[in-house]
Each structure stands twice: as C-alpha cells, then as structure tokens.
C-alpha cells in the first residue's frame, strides 16, 4: 500500500448514559481502560503509521495511561459532537489527502483484529471507503410517540453500523467540513460521506465489536474479551 494508514479515536464524550463516575472510555476491563484496549487493537494493525486521539479539553487522564505511551500516539482537543472530534483529529494528522484513515470508537474494546484487517482488505481492493457492520436479524418495529407499534419494518437490507470506518483522509475531512458548514448533523463518518455523494461499502463485522453504552454492556464486552489480565498484550 503506497498511501499511509492512520487511526483516529474520538474520545471527548462524557458517556452520560452509563451513569458512571467517569467517562465510559475510562471504565476498565481486565485492569485496562476501554480507551487503552481499543487503541491497542488499532496499533496492532499492520502498517498503522499514527493514532490520533481527540480528548475533552479538560481531560487529564489519557496522557498518563500506561498503554497510551506508544510513540505513534498523539492527542488533540475534541469538540462538542463526535463529528467535531473526528474532524479535529483528521486536521491534526500529518499525511496526504490520499492516505487512509480508520476511525474507531473508544467504547468498542472487543474489535477483533481480523475484522479490522478484513475491512482494510475490502476497502483497498475496491478503492472506496467502507465500514464494519452487521445485518439485522431481529424483527424491527417502529413506535409512535406513545410507545405503540406503528409499523413493522423490512429488515432484509438493514445493517447495524460499527467501527472502524475507513475512508481517504482528504475525502473524509472535506465531507465533515461540508456537513458542518451546511448544519447537517452526522452521527458517523459514513453519514458524512453519503451526504457528500461518496459510495460506502458494508463489510461484515463481529458481534464482539459491540459499543459499550449502558451499564450492562460492560459485562458483555468483558465476556467477549475474556476479562483476563494481559488482554492487551
């Protein structure tokens, strides 16, 4: 691969739905924070040139974490929304517009390295960006404002988006800037790329790559990881 590969982790959020005494990226599994575990997975990807982590401006935890001392890691100040933090990280990367970027959630500690490599292989083979995702298997209901079922949706072509999401550095930067300038809120990088008119491919992810959002998710993530000492080794 001629172009370089970079990682980005937006970690400026507070994780209010966890109802914990700290942002969820600093909750621990096996003695390590979710942020450390997620970062270590990206750093193990062959050819990863750098990893930029966007932090809350008052965050004083990350820089002292043992597993975040890799010389490829740099920190930058994130923003109010995920898209703001990702954009700040992209602008901090030293690279070319044709470089590739993997954007990954700090709260997805269970990402299998094989899934990340599968995404990279598919994206490079096709020459277009893509995301890890899982097809829906449950019956999907749409509710009205009173919590009553309004409709049952066809699930045949519905997928649950995961991360990493992989795109060209220049294209993703421009797409996020365009979305911000137009006032269109985007909840992930693929949304910004779609709005900018770029095709985005879906690459099968893994159930282990769940996002820790609610308290019960932490136990499930720990189960997937084995919750043993040395989980990041």
Confidence of residue 156 (pLDDT cuts 50, 70, 90): confident
Q: In this predicted structure, what is the pLDDT of residue 69?
A: 95
pLDDT digits (tens, 9 = 90+) for 186-200: 999 999 999 999 999
- Domain coordinates in residue numbering, the chain: 5-109+166-196+210-225
Give mean pLDDT, residues 210-214.
92
Mean residue pLDDT of the chain comes to: 92
Q: In this predicted structure, what is the pLDDT of residue 155?
A: 85
Q: In this predicted structure, what is the pLDDT of residue 168?
A: 98
Q: Where are the alpha helices (DSSP H) in the chain?
A: 34-43, 82-92, 113-126, 169-182, 189-195, 215-225
Q: In this predicted structure, what is the pLDDT of residue 184?
A: 87
Residue 133 — φ and ψ, nearest 5°? Answer: -160, 160
Q: In this predicted structure, what is the pLDDT of residue 28?
A: 94
The dotted CATH code for 5-109+166-196+210-225 is 3.90.550.10
Kindly state the percentage of the chain with pLDDT values over 70. 94
Residue 189 to residue 38: CA distance in whole angstroms: 18
Q: In this predicted structure, what is the pLDDT of residue 19?
A: 56
Give mean pLDDT, residues 39-68.
95
Residue 130 to residue 202: CA distance in whole angstroms: 6
Give mean pLDDT, residues 90-109.
97
Q: In this predicted structure, what is the pLDDT of residue 227?
A: 45
The pairing of strands 28-29 and 140-143 is unpaired
Q: In this predicted structure, what is the pLDDT of residue 20?
A: 66
Give mean pLDDT, residues 80-90.
96
**Which two three-digit tokens encode residue 230?**
């040395």
Give mean pLDDT, residues 92-103.
97
Least Cα distance to 75 among 28, 7, 24 occurs for 7
Give mean pLDDT, residues 116-122.
98
Give mean pLDDT, residues 46-53.
97
Give mean pLDDT, residues 112-120.
97
Residue 195 — φ and ψ, nearest 5°? Answer: -60, -30
């Amino acid at each position: 691969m001629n172009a370089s590969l970079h990682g980005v982790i937006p970690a400026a959020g507070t994780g209010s739905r966890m109802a914990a005494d700290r942002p969820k990226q600093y909750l621990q599994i096996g003695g390590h924070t979710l942020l450390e575990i997620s970062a270590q997975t990206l750093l193990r990807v062959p050819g990863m040139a750098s990893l930029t982590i966007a932090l809350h401006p008052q965050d004083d935890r990350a820089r002292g974490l043992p597993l975040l001392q890799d010389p490829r890691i740099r920190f930058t100040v994130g923003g109010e929304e995920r898209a703001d933090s990702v954009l700040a990280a992209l602008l901090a990367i030293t690279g070319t517009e044709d470089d590739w970027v993997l954007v990954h959630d700090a709260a997805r500690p269970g990402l299998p390295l094989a899934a990340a490599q599968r995404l990279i292989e598919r994206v490079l083979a096709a020459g277009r960006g893509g995301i890890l995702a899982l097809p829906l298997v449950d019956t999907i209901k749409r509710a009205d404002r009173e919590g009553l079922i309004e409709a049952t949706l066809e699930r045949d072509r519905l997928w649950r988006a995961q991360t990493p999401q992989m795109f060209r550095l220049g294209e993703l930067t421009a797409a996020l800037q365009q979305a911000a300038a137009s006032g269109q809120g985007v909840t992930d990088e693929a949304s910004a790329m779609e709005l900018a008119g770029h095709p985005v491919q879906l690459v099968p992810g893994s159930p282990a790559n769940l996002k820790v959002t609610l308290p019960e998710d932490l136990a499930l993530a720990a189960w997937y990881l084995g919750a043993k000492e040395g989980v990041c080794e």
